[in-house]
Amino acid sequence: MRQGLRLGVDLGGTQVKMALVDHRGRLAAQAAVETVKNPRRLVAAMKAAAQVWFHKRLLGTGVGVAGDIDSARGVVRVSPNLGWRNVPLKKMLKSAGFPQPLFIDNDANAAAWGAFHVELKGKSDDLVVLTLGTGVGGGVVLKGHLLHGVTGSAAELGHMNVDPRGLRCSCGNLGCLETFLGKDYLLASARREWARRGRRWPKGMTPFHLAQIARRGDAAAKAVWARAGSALGVGLGNLINIFNPDTILLCGGIAGASGLLLRSAAPGIRRAFATPRRAARIRVAANTRHLGVVGAALLVE
Amino acid sequence: MRQGLRLGVDLGGTQVKMALVDHRGRLAAQAAVETVKNPRRLVAAMKAAAQVWFHKRLLGTGVGVAGDIDSARGVVRVSPNLGWRNVPLKKMLKSAGFPQPLFIDNDANAAAWGAFHVELKGKSDDLVVLTLGTGVGGGVVLKGHLLHGVTGSAAELGHMNVDPRGLRCSCGNLGCLETFLGKDYLLASARREWARRGRRWPKGMTPFHLAQIARRGDAAAKAVWARAGSALGVGLGNLINIFNPDTILLCGGIAGASGLLLRSAAPGIRRAFATPRRAARIRVAANTRHLGVVGAALLVE
């Protein structure tokens, strides 16, 4: 990674985070704008907030976007969060004067790339990253390279099937890992658990609260995390058998409940073969707050 | 791939196939010996059959073995078929005078490597291979490199979980892809289907016969293949979302029934995201008979 600053952009459904990031992944400056769905207006707003930086000798710009990204051409094929289809983001940012070269990638890939450099300091031969948040994303770094596949769509680990008779996922299918661990699914699962026990569902419940009360011994909350953890375990067992990584890193808001999750994940993890299982450390990212924007910036190598 | 002959060895549970193989994967000579479980005696028998070739200017020796292989050190960690634990096969073959350099790898990795070079003539950026036989093996070739992971245990695709409430697999776990597609599981599934329908189970039934009668319209046989195909579909959908390959290749004896399998696999394949799904060709290997020994030989690049 060359010394110097690059511009990182984490283009989310509600907010665009931007930052100047150095080669070690440290933030030198930050800005944010609200997300508007019109691509032209959004790029204009991003430029207005970031162009104060354009005069610096930046090494380039990296952008992470949730969705199906053609990273080779810099096109957002589909982003359900943004309601975008075939938006030539790279071209638009180039026209707007964003520092070149420009790299566009899936947000979970960017987070995995950031985790590889910042959390693991590049010291992983084969790394699998799960981002646990509203959705469940994935990124895989093999021998120092992001796994992209042939259309840039690889590592959609959240849509690995862990139960063919499971719930319908936002992606249209049944029983994806995301239907057990995505924020809204988790809360829906809790709500059903509360109903089953004839308990009143408290307003404003969040995964954070759900973890708190589970830790204090609440049986319903514990059952919810156990179910989610058990599915996570099946997913982790698969990932160990498939990639034989030295590290699986859990990131994102829900990873804060990893203690609760991993307890129930143990049987699933034990499904993996002994040698790769022993070789795989399962870790929780220490600081996931800026991983998206930092990882995006570090796409500029 | 350099021109010239290499020695390929497919070390199976009942037979050791050996062959001289050229850079295009063509066989120049063949030999076979019966498998004996004692490693010393086996290497001696292999040497007796192959040493007539040792005087030629061979480029090296490649060996495929079923099991958990430490390909970096050339050690067979565990091979259930052979009843081996920590057998330093590379060292033993070297002492016996087998042509150097020597490469030892998992048999499905070797088959995938052979398929990459022979079936696809090296024309695949990201290739996933499933070997459907007694067991279900996997091999993955990304940008021209076999996926090994950190201990050489990667790509155990047959032990991906496709049903957490499924049958117990030989690996000890529940609902692996192998429990739907492995030869013995398939026949056991057929046997249960026959019993359910009050039919007498015919002696000497094989997957080949089972496919024949299914093609002729036998409802019980069709149900068996439909169940297996449906699980295969879940696995293929996962592999498309995980690797985003240009090709998934089905090899091995059971792949002969791929017409029957893929029909029922379609819903599972449709679980994958649209872009990677459209990018992935699912193919059946044209000639899988020698893929193991050829792929092993081509480990010598």
The secondary structure of residue A162, as a DSSP letter, is S
Distance CA B195, CA B220 (A): 10
Please check the confidence at residue A78 and state whether its pLDDT lies above 90: yes
pLDDT band for position B56 (50/70/90)?
Answer: confident
Please check the confidence at residue B55 and state whether its pLDDT lies above 80: no
Question: Which residue is closest to B247 within chain A, CA to CA?
Answer: A150
What pLDDT, on a 0 to 100 scale, did the predictor assign at position A21? 97
Mutate to test the interface with B, among A75, A273, A282 (most CBs of B within 10 A): A273
Tell me what percent of the residues of chain A surpass a pLDDT of 70.
Answer: 100
Locate B285 and state its tokens. 């290997």
What pLDDT, on a 0 to 100 scale, did the predictor assign at position B208? 95
Question: Which residue is closest to A267 within chain B, CA to CA?
Answer: B173
Please check the confidence at residue A119 and state whether its pLDDT lies above 80: yes
Q: How far, CA to CA in Å, does A198 sit from each of A185, A201, A207, A220?
A: 20, 9, 20, 11
User: Which of B151, B243, B271 has the CB atom closest to A275's CB atom?
Assistant: B151
What pLDDT, on a 0 to 100 scale, did the predictor assign at position B147? 98
CA angle A249, A255, A261 (to 5 degrees): 100
Over residues A218-242, the pLDDT tens digits come to 999 999 999 999 999 999 999 999 9
Distance CA B93, CA B77 (A): 16
Tell me what percent of the residues of chain B surpass a pLDDT of 70.
Answer: 100
Please check the confidence at residue A164 and state whether its pLDDT lies above 90: no
Size of chain B, expressed as the number of residues it contains: 301
* CB pair distance less than 8 Å for A242 and B150: no
3-class SS of residue B234? helix
What pLDDT, on a 0 to 100 scale, did the predictor assign at position B171? 86
State the average pLDDT for chain B. 95
Q: For chain A, how long is the longest CA-to-CA vector?
A: 61
Chain A: nearest CA to B7, how far in angstroms?
A: 28
What pLDDT, on a 0 to 100 scale, did the predictor assign at position A173? 87
pLDDT band for position A257 (50/70/90)?
Answer: very high
Question: Which residue is closest to A243 within chain B, CA to CA?
Answer: B154
pLDDT band for position A203 (50/70/90)?
Answer: very high
Residue A212 CB contacts under 8 Å (≥ 6 apart), including other chains: none
pLDDT band for position A201 (50/70/90)?
Answer: very high
* CB pair distance less than 8 Å for A237 and B173: yes
3-class SS of residue A5? coil
Over residues B268-291, the pLDDT tens digits come to 999 899 999 999 999 999 877 899
* CB pair distance less than 8 Å for A68 and B245: no
Span B198-208, mean pLDDT?
95
User: Which of A153, A174, A238 has the CB atom closest to B160's CB atom?
Assistant: A238
* CB pair distance less than 8 Å for B161 and A237: yes
Distance CA B11, CA B18 (A): 8
Assess contact for A62 and A17: CB atoms under 8 A: no
Please check the confidence at residue B229 and state whether its pLDDT lies above 90: yes
* CB pair distance less than 8 Å for A273 and B150: no
What pLDDT, on a 0 to 100 scale, did the predictor assign at position A289? 82
Over residues B109-149, the pLDDT tens digits come to 999 999 999 999 999 999 999 999 989 999 999 999 999 99
User: Which residues from A are below 8 Å from B272, CB to CB?
Assistant: 159
Over residues A205-220, the pLDDT tens digits come to 999 999 999 999 999 9
Q: How far, CA to CA in Å, does A289 sit from each of A119, A183, A255, A295, A296?
A: 12, 17, 12, 11, 13
Please check the confidence at residue A56 and state whether its pLDDT lies above 80: no
pLDDT band for position B172 (50/70/90)?
Answer: confident
Sheet containing strand B68-70, strands side by side:
B68-70, B75-79, B84-87
The structure's pTM equals 0.95
3-class SS of residue B194? helix
Distance CA A220, CA A210 (A): 9
* CB pair distance less than 8 Å for B152 and A244: yes
Please check the confidence at residue B48 and state whether its pLDDT lies above 90: yes
Over residues B68-116, the pLDDT tens digits come to 999 999 999 999 889 999 999 999 999 999 999 999 999 999 999 999 9
What pLDDT, on a 0 to 100 scale, did the predictor assign at position A30? 96
User: Which of A142, A162, A273 has the CB atom closest to B161's CB atom?
Assistant: A162
User: Which residues from A are below 8 Å from B156, CB to CB?
Assistant: 241-242, 273, 276
Question: Which residue is closest to A280 within chain B, CA to CA?
Answer: B150
Q: Where are the beta strands (DSSP E) in chain A?
A: 6-11, 15-21, 27-34, 61-65, 68-70, 75-79, 84-87, 102-106, 126-132, 136-142, 145-146, 247-251, 281-284
